[in-house]
Structure 1
Amino acid sequence: MSYQPSARWLNAVLACAMLLTSYAEAAEKLAHVTILATGGTIAGSGASSTTTVGYTAATVGVNSLIAAVPELAKVAEVKGEQVFQIASENMSNEHWLKLAKRVNTLLAQPDVDGIVITHGTDTLEETAYFLDLTVKSKKPVVLVGAMRPGTALSADGPINLYNAVLLAASQEAVGKGVLVAMNDQIHAARDVTKTNTSTPDSFKTPELGMLGYIQGNKPYFYHVSSRKNTADTEFDISQLDTLPQVDIVYGYANVNPVALNALVAAGAKGIIHAGVGDGSLAASVKTGLVAARKQGVLIVRSSRVGQGIVARNGEANDDELDFVASDTLNPQKARILLMLALTRTSDSKQIQRMFYTY
């Protein structure tokens, strides 16, 4: 006599099958996020659990970073790739070009929905802005770091990484430009800056304001940057192996022209003058800046203040001197834009347009 399964048993089997199907469908709906690791404090380790300064950066690999936050599996299908393993003060133009090209390659793939880049905090804002100008996709790109190593009692890396992946996996982040996720906050790459040497709330956008918060496993945007970014920029680094030499000259009381003259002699194609106040030019360096411009070196007036607009034709007659004003970009970000601008043109008027556009 053949066995006939009961209706109750068949219903149980059917229920299990439906449950497994729903789990599979849920997994398929998760965004695919690639984590590109570059080193930094988020991958650092200290001598003890109370070591929050004097630790060693860039010692932990990307797979270990991912394994330390198993909750990532709930918000995205995650895979990791170790691009570099350096402290971010060692970030170079060559690193930026390699990273940007890798990001563009990945985002061109249909199975990659977003990118997270783990990075040291010292130059994180610079890398973020470089990518904001060179990534050719509207898909989310989120930079994240940590102010304390993973071995510290109060390590901020794991929650920062979780929030960054959550943000990169979200539809809300699409088309918002390159973002920085730190301390439960969302910042625009163009305007964010590191404001403190060691505290976890170091990353801020002091005047223009952060874009939003990450709370309760959801990003909340309250405003967005009006400046063009990513797929809407005119910069193409796909065929570039190097970038023009652009250096920064710092303004201060009793400044002398030695550093400026040395940089020009060393082949600088552009100089960012981080002037006092509204980008003022001391008489002791103005002569050298004017001479450099006549030699073809592009001069951008920025400010060491860190906030506010550097007014064109304000503290210097930029029209007469053929200088460029940096708008609200701080010196280190003005350097990035000028390097990329010089790959397109040496016309100061066109470069001024770029500073008002990006």
Structure 2
Amino acid sequence: MFHRQAAQFAVALLGFALFVPTSLAQARLANVTILATGGTIAGSGATSTTTVGYTAATVGVQNLIAAVPELAKVANVSGEQVFQIASENMSNEHWLTLARRVNTLLAQPNVDGIVITHGTDTMEETAYFLNLVVKSRKPVVLVGSMRPSTAMSADGPLNLYNAVLLAAHPDAAGRGVLVSMNDQIQSARDVTKTNTTTTDTFKSTDLGMLGYIQGGKPSFYRAVTRKHTTESEFDVGALTALPQVEIALSYANVGPTQVEALMAAGAKGIVHAGVGNGSLPARVKPALVAARAKGAIVVRASRVGQGILARNGEANDDQLDFVVADTLSPQKARILLMLALTKTTNTREIQRMFYTY
């Protein structure tokens, strides 16, 4: 009798040992919500070798999740289809909607992190916008792919796996909005798309990436020092629209047509993507001066892609009452200027913001 009871007890213990660790491990998994917006990662092509000429934004979020069953091992994943667009069609209205949804979700105790699937064309812009308006230290990770889901060696599934792994990891908290592509971790402020088609296109060429994802975990080597997320003074909660800010590109033989047309269209701010260190061509400068006289904020940026834009360098910014973009690209300078204009039109205050974010 004793031996039979002992045997039964041993079997019970074995069953408990087999059951409890699995349950506890499942309980320890972070809760990650995937917000899908479309893009190539949700695209499809006619054949497995179609890597250009495919149709973006055709695969829904539940199918994206189902295609990577390994996600269940790193997080408790749920999905929402926020938009289904190619990212060249991303608008200010999309950004406001997405930002409000992100903030609502992150305020919930049962959401530990968010992954946003996104087209690569404007991913860096969406990431930087969210970097300035998300009000949480919880991880927010943008991810996409350069090949559609139907392509041979599609990069989307592994990119998505890594993004979820990153969003679920405590080391990703408090680092601002991140971009995870090609096994690398990039800062929303610094990253840009550098190649039209290759899978290693996203780089922080000026200041460097933050780290790698390898062996099932993120490794960080650099910290973000500019303010973001919870330290940001910007809030989209009550905004229904963003001020109109446009970009005027400079090049050899450029004239004033762009600036004049943008002002006629109602621009409240103009980012001049100048050559070199933001030089002002002789034919464009009068149009920018006139724009400032009419109340538009003028930001000098550079089309070069790397380097600091020197204040009072290629132009007397103090005298002209212009703002300089620091190290921000023209497209990111536009985002910061839009948000700055929701707070003030004082150029000294706006310049402070460009040196802060």
Would you say same fold, with TM above 0.5?
Answer: yes
Which moved further from structure 2: 8-17 or 163-172?
Answer: 8-17
Q: Secondary structure at the match of 1:337?
A: helix
Report the Cα offset of residue 19 of structure 1: 2.2
Q: Distance in 1 between matches of 2:96 and 2:217?
A: 32
Q: Which deviations, in whole Å up to 9, do the C-alpha atoms of 1:144-187 show, x marking residues without a partner?
A: 00000011111000000000000000011010000000000000
Q: 1:207 aligns to what?
A: 206
Q: Distance in 1 between matches of 2:65 and 2:115?
A: 12
Q: 1:167 aligns to what?
A: 166
Q: Secondary structure at the match of 1:315?
A: coil
- Hey, which bits of structure 1, 4+ residues long, moved more than 3 A? 2-6
Q: Secondary structure at the match of 1:284?
A: coil
Q: 2:149 aligns to what?
A: 150
**1:255-274 counterparts in 2 under 5 A?**
255-274=254-273
Q: Secondary structure at the match of 1:306?
A: coil
Q: 1:117 aligns to what?
A: 116
Q: Distance in 2 between matches of 1:47 and 1:144?
A: 23
Q: Distance in 2 between matches of 1:121 and 1:77?
A: 26
**1:201-280 counterparts in 2 under 5 A?**
201-280=200-279
Q: Secondary structure at the match of 1:234?
A: coil
Q: 2:300 aligns to what?
A: 301
Which moved further from structure 2: 7-16 or 172-181?
Answer: 7-16
Q: Distance in 2 between matches of 1:21 and 1:219?
A: 27
Report the Cα offset of residue 312 of structure 1: 0.4
Q: 2:74 aligns to what?
A: 75
Structure 2, gaps ≥5 residues long: none
Q: Distance in 2 between matches of 1:234 and 1:69?
A: 38
2:31 counterpart of 1:32: yes
Q: Distance in 2 between matches of 1:153 and 1:47?
A: 12
Q: TM-score, normalised by structure 1?
A: 0.98
Q: TM-score, normalised by structure 2?
A: 0.99
Q: Distance in 1 between matches of 2:4 and 2:141?
A: 54
Q: Distance in 2 between matches of 1:207 and 1:286?
A: 28
Q: Distance in 2 between matches of 1:68 and 1:13?
A: 37
Q: 1:356 aligns to what?
A: 355
Report the Cα offset of residue 5 of structure 1: 5.1
Q: Distance in 2 between matches of 1:266 and 1:218?
A: 49
Q: Distance in 1 between matches of 2:71 and 2:259?
A: 48
**1:79-158 counterparts in 2 under 5 A?**
79-158=78-157
Alignment RMSD, CA only?
A: 1.2
Q: Distance in 2 between matches of 1:260 and 1:272?
A: 10
Give the percent of matched residue pairs that are identical in Structure 1 and Structure 2: 71
Q: 1:333 aligns to what?
A: 332
Q: Distance in 1 between matches of 2:116 and 2:142?
A: 5
Q: Secondary structure at the match of 2:170?
A: coil
Report the Cα offset of residue 329 of structure 1: 0.3
Q: Which deviations, in whole Å up to 9, do the C-alpha atoms of 1:311-343 show, x marking residues without a partner?
A: 000000000000000000000000000000000
Q: Distance in 1 between matches of 2:215 and 2:43?
A: 27
Count residues with an aligned counterpart: 357
Q: Which deviations, in whole Å up to 9, do the C-alpha atoms of 1:28-53 show, x marking residues without a partner?
A: 10000000000000000010000111
**1:313-324 counterparts in 2 under 5 A?**
313-324=312-323
Q: Distance in 2 between matches of 1:22 and 1:275?
A: 60
Report the Cα offset of residue 17 of structure 1: 2.1
